């Protein structure tokens, strides 16, 4: 079951990483964004932070409208924005914006050198970020007695649930996420295992992280 068909990959928050190539400093900045306005806002924030930089190249991909945009910001056409976008695409990320800042060190890198430098900058920024794998899911709160807890917990891996919290009191309460397409069969299995004695409270469907 592919992520592309049933969910999406993105990052959590922001991250950055830098390196130096022939005296030019490259700084890769990456952020989670969900709209064109958020992406433009992030780009403008980086530009303001690095207003003395030679270039602030960017690329972003959004789920909203299947949008992707990029800019070479004065670098030779095709040597900067496209390589950054290509890194994001190959990483399978969406709802993400990457800005690569360059402080020119006085030595020309040539077309191929620029492509490699901007690709590497985007790659190390991606590697520095916390990845999220988001699926449509239902939050469930399960309540059962201790006799059944071992039985129900044994099937959790079968349904790839994401445990959020477990409370051991008079009964056992488990808060978890189950992917939407598995929710009904998961609940049926729980009821079968416990003879219908388990308490199941299902909240509204949302996206959740299954990384």
CATH number reported for the structural domain that contains residue 170 in this entry: 3.30.70.240
CA distance 59 to 161: 34
> Which sign, positive or negative, has the C-alpha torsion 199, 203, 206, 211?
negative
Same domain, 88 and 147: no
Q: What is the pLDDT of residues 120-156, one digit of tens each?
A: 999 999 999 999 999 999 999 999 999 999 999 999 9
What CATH number did the domain enclosing 91 receive?
3.30.230.30
SS3 103: strand
Of 99, 128, 157, the last residue of a domain is 128
pLDDT tens-digit map of 166-194:
999 999 999 999 999 999 999 999 999 99
Q: Give this prediction's pTM.
A: 0.85
Domain identity same for 49 and 144: no
According to DSSP, the β-strands at 130-144 and 206-209 are: antiparallel
pLDDT score recorded for residue 4 = 47
For residues 176 and 108, membership in a common domain is answered with no
What are the backbone dihedrals phi and psi of residue 13, each rounded to the nearest 5 degrees, phi first? Answer: 70, -135
Query: How long, in residues, is the chain?
Result: 211
Quote the tokens at residue 136: 């449509």
Range of the domain at 172: 135-209
For tokens 């592919």, the residue is 2
**Domain boundary, last residue among 105, 128, 151:** 128
Helix axes 146-154, 180-194, angle to 10 degrees: 140
């Amino acid at each position: 079951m592919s992520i592309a068909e049933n969910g999406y990959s993105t990052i959590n928050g922001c991250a950055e990483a830098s390196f130096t190539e022939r005296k030019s400093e490259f700084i890769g900045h990456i952020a989670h964004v969900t709209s064109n306005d958020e992406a433009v806002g992030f780009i403008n924030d980086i530009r303001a932070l690095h207003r003395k930089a030679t270039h602030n190249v960017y690329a972003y991909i959004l789920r909203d409208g299947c949008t992707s945009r990029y800019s070479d910001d004065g670098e030779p056409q095709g040597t900067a924005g496209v390589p950054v976008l290509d890194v994001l695409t190959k990483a399978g990320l969406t709802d993400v914006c990457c800005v690569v800042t360059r402080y020119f060190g006085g030595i020309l890198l040539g077309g191929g050198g620029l492509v490699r430098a901007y690709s590497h900058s985007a790659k190390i920024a991606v590697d520095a970020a916390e990845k999220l794998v988001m699926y449509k899911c239902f939050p469930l709160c399960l309540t059962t007695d201790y006799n059944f807890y071992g039985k129900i917990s044994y099937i959790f891996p079968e349904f790839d649930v994401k445990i959020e919290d477990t409370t051991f009191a008079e009964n056992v309460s488990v808060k978890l996420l189950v992917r939407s397409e598995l929710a009904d069969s998961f609940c049926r299995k729980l009821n079968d295992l416990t003879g219908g004695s388990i308490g199941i409270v299902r909240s509204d469907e949302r996206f959740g992280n299954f990384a």
